[in-house]
Amino acid sequence: MLIILLDDLGFGAPSVFGGPCFTPTAERLAADGLKYTRFHTCAMCAPTRNALLTGRNHHTVGMGCLPELATSAPGYTSIRPNTCAPLAETLKLNGYATAQFGKCHEVPLWQTSPMGPFDQWPTAAGLSTFTGSLAARPTSITRRCTKAPGLLSQTGPRRRLPLHRGYD
């Protein structure tokens, strides 16, 4: 199973949905799979992504707005309740390998530091591997999180070493 969510794009842009942008790979994937054309978007990235990843209304999973605008009002806390299991958790419990790549704007703002807590991070939501950014906007810093039983490790920014004489 492969779920592709292209953020801030709209259905009209790629050719796979009749748009002007030629996307042959997406067309090949869609030809052998399913295309959902009646997906309800929430007009904001994080609520839409949470609705897709859980199969529930974005207010039910606490993401009635962007995490940066969270309040204590029900449905707007940016904290997914334990009663709303993400699709990845269900798949993982049934033996599937799970991963997410790219922007993960579902983590409450105050939980994005390396100090945690990590219970809302992608690896705590059933994803075996996450590579991407926990922030709203992608940065040059890529975070890679993996989770083994009882262990969460994160590598910091990947830096290219400067080339010096004698180094290949």
Residue among 127, 131, 128, 152 nearest 141 (CA): 131
Cα(32)–Cα(107) distance, rounded to whole angstroms? 33
Which residues are identified as catalytic?
45, 105
> 132 forms bridges with which residues in the sheet?
102, 143
User: Which uninterrupted H or E stretch holds 143?
Assistant: strand 143-148
| Tally of CA atoms within 13 A in the half-sphere of 108 that contains its CB | 18
